[in-house]
Chain A
């Protein structure tokens, strides 16, 4: 049997060790699946979504309650997006904890980090597109943070929001950001990221001279495993979508209300908690950007892991990076829990 298109997207055979679930947690592959699902469900939503301030929330209500399976598709889109953030974070942690970012993969690590940032921004813009009473506070607070940046804050704010009061004007901007201006870079970076995985020698393992397990699995076995993972994630998504519908709030009446919902979306709760501590530029912009920069620099300035440690969980040679990332993760999780 000649391999199909889908088989051809994979290498003819990969080392069995790399294909093990406990080696990768399946996070990268799951992220790809979730992104595809987001694309499909997103296109379906676009058939009904009306991006103007008067009708946006009503079109979401129509989609949710009157389009056959519309509510289910919207819930799938929502849960895929939330799961994508979790899976991406798990993927990032796995790469750090298995020292997989070492040269030549460190550039791909940056591509992945960029994808993660884009995923967060897509989640935020998607949240705003509901354009109901729940979005005004997060939108105003989130976009006002941009203004606090010295010198270029005003310019960046106009770029992101389009100027004026965000609650009145930002919908068209956010729609364009969500549908094109963030999604296209995700596609480009995503394909580049996948290309670099293969160009850099597949899932990270020690160099051949140090890696003696020569067992390989064929790509139809790999595809079968991927399909199995997709079924499992699919069932999970279906159950989440049926029993935990995506948030929705009453449409805005007359003018936007800042009082309806004063909590940030869950992935920004940690930033919201820090904002209670003081200067919004320091706590809302500098610290999150500082954390991002630190993560980006790990492959470049931290002690390099030993070749024999690549692809092994929690090796000694990159302990510092593990500790730093663990501290960051615990910091973010604790702040999120405090603010829940």
Chain B
């Protein structure tokens, strides 16, 4: 009964065995192509993550968020163990931008992080989400009032619904604005064309408007000003079009991605983009009839405007006017009054924290700095022994000294202190 293998069946067996062995070798070779995993176990979570396998060359996002402490997943989400790009990225919060307001609480929040208590000045997320930069409440109320959808200018709507239980402004909540439920076509068109400036909006197309959303709209500068060689800690946009950086040294060019980019045309309800591309700072302002003093086109926006003006103060406001309050006199005083000052005696003073985050000045205990009318520290301006002031540019580290108005030849009355009065004498003609 026993049969000897025929030549053809021997050949088949050999070929199949060889094929199977080849297939196994192929698996071995295929597996060996995978990159060597790079593990990081951040001290904050104690859980290993493998993001650095591909992202090892990414610069650290900021000195306050060292990767050894935070890792990547704490902020970005994602599948920390997965080495397949699509799956690893599939559960990331906010795509490449975890600070988008839709996910910011999960990414940046938490009582130990940026949704801490108001007493500690750590309620950043609450401040931003109620701020007019995020709600756009003033513009919406104005447009609705103009086209008859409401009888006064009080705000009822924001870009997103928001509430404030401990309101100081009397505005407890805003409903989410839905332009498509409006009957007036102009308001509808406003909704379609003009909602590109609040910080969670996808910006208009074009390099001039390029910015992220959420916190990163301001804190992740994509563009650098022409004097960027003075800039510390702000990294340039990488080849992929993104930036892995967070900074409080925000150059004016970042503000300009929304501000100074053109004007809204209320008749056509469209945005008229500016067409000039000035490289001279003075002409970078897009207000044809406006006047500017030297500090307005030399300093950066954040050198004068405070954190509560830019990020909100935790209350819902009706318009820009009710949150913006810094004037020339805040730093320079009036002919009869010196600017307000504060001598730093508490090592936990907010001024030290802010100077630590953006170390342009070596503040010490006993230093006297300027403060605003609302008590916010102007921590980059220090009183010198001779009664003049020194100032360090927050974004540029430029050094300036300046004098108070008091004792100068200025004859302006103490009551008339808005910028237009100062521009009468101090403006530079364009």
Specify whether A and B are partners. Answer: yes
A residues in contact (CB < 8 Å) with B: 12-13, 58, 61-62, 64-66, 68-69, 72, 133, 216-218, 220-221, 224, 227-228, 231-232, 234-235, 238-239, 241-242, 245, 248-251, 253
Q: Could you mark each residue 77-88 of chain B with 1 if its beta carbon is under 8 Å from any beta carbon of chain A, else 0? A: 001011110010
B23 at the interface (CB under 8 A from A): yes
Contact status B16-A65, CB under 8 Å? no
Contact status B81-A61, CB under 8 Å? yes
Nearest A residue (CB) for B22: A235
Contact status A251-B79, CB under 8 Å? yes
B151 at the interface (CB under 8 A from A): no
Q: Could you list 20 further interchain pairs (A-B, Cβ under 8 angstroms) beyond the known A58-B81, A69-B31?
A: A12-B1, A61-B82, A65-B50, A66-B37, A68-B31, A69-B27, A72-B31, A218-B2, A227-B13, A228-B13, A228-B16, A232-B16, A234-B20, A239-B23, A242-B26, A242-B30, A245-B84, A250-B87, A250-B91, A251-B91
Give the distance in Å from the alpha carbon of A72 to the alpha carbon of B34 in the complex: 13
B76-111, CB < 8 A from A: 79, 81-84, 87, 90-91
CB-defined contacts of B91 to chain A, threshold 8 Å: 133, 250-251, 253
Give the distance in Å from the alpha carbon of A245 to the alpha carbon of B37 in the complex: 19
B19 at the interface (CB under 8 A from A): yes
Give the distance in Å from the alpha carbon of A227 to the alpha carbon of B5 in the complex: 14
Name which of A62, A72, A232, A250 has the most chain B CB atoms within 10 A of its CB: A250
CB-defined contacts of A58 to chain B, threshold 8 Å: 81
CB-defined contacts of B12 to chain A, threshold 8 Å: 228
Nearest chain B CB to A63 CB, angstrom units: 10
Nearest chain A CB to B280 CB, angstrom units: 50
Contact status A231-B17, CB under 8 Å? yes
Contact status B27-A231, CB under 8 Å? no
Nearest A residue (CB) for B39: A66
B residues in contact (CB < 8 Å) with A: 1-3, 5, 9, 12-13, 16-17, 19-20, 23-24, 26-27, 30-31, 37, 50, 79, 81-84, 87, 90-91
CB-defined contacts of B19 to chain A, threshold 8 Å: 231, 235
Given that A228-B13, A232-B16, A248-B87 are known contacts, is A65 also in contact with B81, CB under 8 Å in the complex?
A: yes
Contact status B90-A231, CB under 8 Å? no
CB-defined contacts of A224 to chain B, threshold 8 Å: 5, 9, 13
Contact status B82-A65, CB under 8 Å? yes
Give the distance in Å from the alpha carbon of A221 to the alpha carbon of B12 in the complex: 13
Nearest chain B CB to A240 CB, angstrom units: 11
Give the distance in Å from the alpha carbon of A12 to the alpha carbon of B2 in the complex: 10
Contact status B2-A220, CB under 8 Å? yes
Give the distance in Å from the alpha carbon of A235 to the alpha carbon of B2 in the complex: 29
Give the distance in Å from the alpha carbon of A68 to the alpha carbon of B87 in the complex: 19
Nearest chain B CB to A80 CB, angstrom units: 15
Contact status B20-A235, CB under 8 Å? yes
Total A-B contacts with CB atoms under 8 angstroms apart: 70
Give the distance in Å from the alpha carbon of A81 to the alpha carbon of B278 in the complex: 67
CB-defined contacts of B83 to chain A, threshold 8 Å: 65-66
CB-defined contacts of B3 to chain A, threshold 8 Å: 217-218, 220-221
Nearest A residue (CB) for B10: A224
Q: Which of A13, A61, A68, A220 contacts B79 (CB 8 A)?
A: A61
CB-defined contacts of B37 to chain A, threshold 8 Å: 65-66
Contact status B13-A62, CB under 8 Å? no
Contact status A250-B79, CB under 8 Å? yes
Give the distance in Å from the alpha carbon of A251 to the alpha carbon of B82 in the complex: 10
Could you write out 25 A-B pairs with CB less than 8 Å apart? A58-B81, A61-B79, A61-B82, A62-B81, A64-B82, A65-B37, A65-B84, A69-B31, A72-B27, A218-B3, A227-B13, A227-B16, A231-B17, A231-B20, A234-B20, A235-B20, A238-B23, A241-B27, A242-B26, A242-B30, A248-B87, A249-B90, A250-B87, A251-B79, A251-B91
Contact status B81-A66, CB under 8 Å? yes
Nearest B residue (CB) for A216: B1
Give the distance in Å from the alpha carbon of A250 to the alpha carbon of B3 in the complex: 56
CB-defined contacts of A250 to chain B, threshold 8 Å: 79, 87, 90-91
Nearest chain B CB to A288 CB, angstrom units: 33
Nearest chain A CB to B302 CB, angstrom units: 36
Nearest chain B CB to A222 CB, angstrom units: 11
Nearest A residue (CB) for B17: A231
Give the distance in Å from the alpha carbon of A13 to the alpha carbon of B2 in the complex: 10
Give the distance in Å from the alpha carbon of A222 to the alpha carbon of B167 in the complex: 86
Nearest A residue (CB) for B2: A218
Give the distance in Å from the alpha carbon of A218 to the alpha carbon of B3 in the complex: 7
Name which of A65, A66, A234 has the most chain B CB atoms within 10 A of its CB: A65
Give the distance in Å from the alpha carbon of A235 to the alpha carbon of B20 in the complex: 6
Nearest B residue (CB) for A251: B79
Nearest chain B CB to A28 CB, angstrom units: 20
Name which of A12, A218, A238 has the most chain B CB atoms within 10 A of its CB: A238
Nearest B residue (CB) for A12: B1
Nearest A residue (CB) for B37: A66
Contact status A242-B27, CB under 8 Å? yes
Give the distance in Å from the alpha carbon of A69 to the alpha carbon of B30 in the complex: 10
Give the distance in Å from the alpha carbon of A64 to the alpha carbon of B88 in the complex: 12
CB-defined contacts of A234 to chain B, threshold 8 Å: 20, 23
CB-defined contacts of A216 to chain B, threshold 8 Å: 1
Give the distance in Å from the alpha carbon of A251 to the alpha carbon of B2 in the complex: 57
Give the distance in Å from the alpha carbon of A115 to the alpha carbon of B342 in the complex: 84
Contact status A238-B79, CB under 8 Å? no
